[in-house]
Structure 1
């Protein structure tokens, strides 16, 4: 109870972010003990709060730039990263917490934490676009803000009633203006096209005139880069990493949803994108090892649980294949989180994420990675947007595919698909 008391006191505003969050220890499951869906949800929500609250509460207080460390890869200087890392932390955190914060208020312990974060985030968003605020974020220089504005846009698309509609008119106008300034720059010829596209799609949803070239270029090129069997290449050539989950599938589906609603594409194109993400999610579920580990392969492995964003989004949309039960996805992802966050020291003394995969491993960070980048990890928590009485949380625990396979149980064979 003592551990949860910390969380509730923070949720009620009686304690602040910082060292207290580090002291808040997550309840660890005993080896061999099967947890219920309710216990899993409590663990997920406490962990997401632990990760996200330093970013959100500091932004609300105007102290994000003051308190957030800027850790960079060995040999890199912090000067450039200080121009972009804060928007990275905010945009990525917003995209991860949005479905959870979209749930209605309730008086549960989780509900108090959720309401606290949502209220603080709304205040923080206003600070982020207020030129007079210490935490005014940089949308206007460098190319990197194209990326992290896109995650902010994705958050607004995922939770418009919770995160967009309550904002005051001045803040909304400022956000629109900041997004339009992104058009002065371009980025890489790969998944970055989606960032530019979804920024324009968001502007379209709030009544602004989008740039049709950015919409069309993103739509056409990502489609051209589809390789089959649920995999897109990231640009003209295929790279084996987690970018299909970090960016491509979830953002393409959200992008196409807007274009479909606005009659810019046929609904069949959106449905095909969803089917491809569902297929990719089958691979994601299969890479979860019996012990909750997964391969640290490819670029950006410091994004940790973001490797499972696509699987989580399919679960959130309640479109899991019939052969994959919600319970086995919940159980598998819980095993990943417990392996990643119970057995690896991923936070510094003040509760900020550190560069690494399992603990502090700055040497594996890519040259574009800094502290703010790491908040991609929140994207692995999308199923928290399903209410507590959803079957995802109420079904008894179930073994996932690799666990079945490695214990001699029957499991579904896997075959190539054509769409």
Structure 2
């Protein structure tokens, strides 16, 4: 009996040591790369996702080559919406990276090539004679994805808007204004309509102030505290605060403040709420790079971290959240998602799923084009390589600290 107990204790000790070794190895694997190595990996992953969309749009072959996968209960007119979805969502994520100036590095050459292709693609997108002319003129879904196009222009005016020829600019303006004959859902869609109008305001075009103000007013009313917005009349536990609510609310109130159509206080409040929300996003990233797959639209994958990425891009991270720990956490997430080919088909297009081909996870509005929101977590690539986000030494993120016995900040609600 004594021998058996002793043997059981030895087994327990062995298991404990094994788990400790695994934990140490996990942390070591997370911290062995440098910031610039992390950046190189981010660039590779973002390029892998975005290239098929941008390259084909530039060549007028997007509609010819993009697969048309959809969920079982899909309820939209697929060919009317999926291509604009792919383009808008892709370019909203790559825009800050493309806004960086040209240089002769390997990354710089890759970035320039993508920017030039995208400029040609944007011209094709609004040319009625081009095979890849995108549909802004019918379907309510266009309200959503036109807003992501507008957000790309907001995030990269020098790279993506100013270089366009006058005819192409005029065509985009006309397409954006054509959206006014439709309405969408009474939820985050208000921000889509408002942001497109906000972009028009920002470039000195006639805009619809009612759509803008209604969006800001309702989203402000839907705030429930401690950085969380309801997405409509009832609260939903999902990632829409990151997919849409915080980033677009911040972008829209910033435009209004800059154009003297809103107050700096409104913008600062929206920003502080997003900063607080970014703390939640950093905390849900596990020490192994996993995060919860809950709520609607989990097929948008890493778009779940757009708000954290935008706060990092704006260099507004909370005091207790260092740029290096955000870099480390997101790098680990990207390794989980994009190291292999489980999320891509044999031609490099994203497939329906969360981490693999899981079409049963698709919502009634999810198709191939919808998936390209995944790029929205890569916004910090808009920071130059010498920025502290990339240049500071590795630092463990909250989950690593918590599960390895290190000190970490106690979390408590914040009033904004």
TM-score (norm 2): 0.92
Q: Partners of 1:151 and 1:139 in 2: how far apart?
A: 12
1:372 is aligned to 2:369: yes
Q: Partners of 2:72 and 2:234 in 1: how far apart?
A: 28
Specify the alignment match of 1:61 in structure 2.
59
Specify the alignment match of 2:185 in structure 1.
188
- The match for 1:270 among 257, 267, 270 is 267
Query: Structure 1 residue 342: deviation in Å?
Result: 1.8
Q: Partners of 1:251 and 1:177 in 2: how far apart?
A: 22
Q: Partners of 1:343 and 1:46 in 2: how far apart?
A: 12
Q: Report the number of matched residues.
A: 390
Q: Is the 8 A contact 2:126 2:134 kept in 1?
A: yes
Query: Structure 1 residue 76: deviation in Å?
Result: 4.0
Specify the alignment match of 1:361 in structure 2.
358
Aligned counterparts, 1:9-408, within 5 A: 31=29, 34-76=32-74, 80-343=77-340, 345-408=342-405
Query: Structure 1 residue 343: deviation in Å?
Result: 4.9
Specify the alignment match of 1:5 in structure 2.
none
Query: Structure 1 residue 216: deviation in Å?
Result: 1.2
Q: Partners of 1:127 and 1:185 in 2: how far apart?
A: 24
Q: Is the 8 A contact 1:71 1:370 kept in 2?
A: yes
Q: Which runs of 5+ in 1 are unaligned?
A: 1-28
Q: Is the 8 A contact 1:344 1:358 kept in 2?
A: no
Q: Partners of 1:134 and 1:344 in 2: how far apart?
A: 29
Specify the alignment match of 1:25 in structure 2.
none
SS of 1:98's equivalent in the other structure is: helix
**Stretches of 4+ aligned residues off by more than 2 angstroms:** 29-33, 74-77
Greater CA drift, 264-273 or 199-208: 199-208
Deviations 1:288-342 (A, max 9, x none): 0010000000000000000000000000000111111100000000000001112
The 3 A distance-change label for structure 1 pair 351 and 316 is same
SS of 1:350's equivalent in the other structure is: coil
Q: Partners of 1:50 and 1:335 in 2: how far apart?
A: 17
Query: Structure 1 residue 86: deviation in Å?
Result: 0.2
Q: Which runs of 5+ in 2 are unaligned?
A: 1-26
Specify the alignment match of 2:14 in structure 1.
none
Query: Structure 1 residue 206: deviation in Å?
Result: 2.1
Q: Partners of 1:71 and 1:32 in 2: how far apart?
A: 34
Q: Partners of 1:362 and 1:280 in 2: how far apart?
A: 30
Specify the alignment match of 1:15 in structure 2.
none
Deviations 1:318-370 (A, max 9, x none): 01111111000000000000011125610000000000001100001101000
The 3 A distance-change label for structure 1 pair 273 and 126 is same
SS of 1:46's equivalent in the other structure is: helix
Query: Structure 1 residue 75: deviation in Å?
Result: 4.8
SS of 1:114's equivalent in the other structure is: helix
Deviations 1:238-275 (A, max 9, x none): 10000000001011101111000011111011001000
SS of 1:302's equivalent in the other structure is: helix
Q: Partners of 1:213 and 1:32 in 2: how far apart?
A: 48
TM-score (norm 1): 0.91
Query: Structure 1 residue 74: deviation in Å?
Result: 2.2
SS of 2:77's equivalent in the other structure is: helix
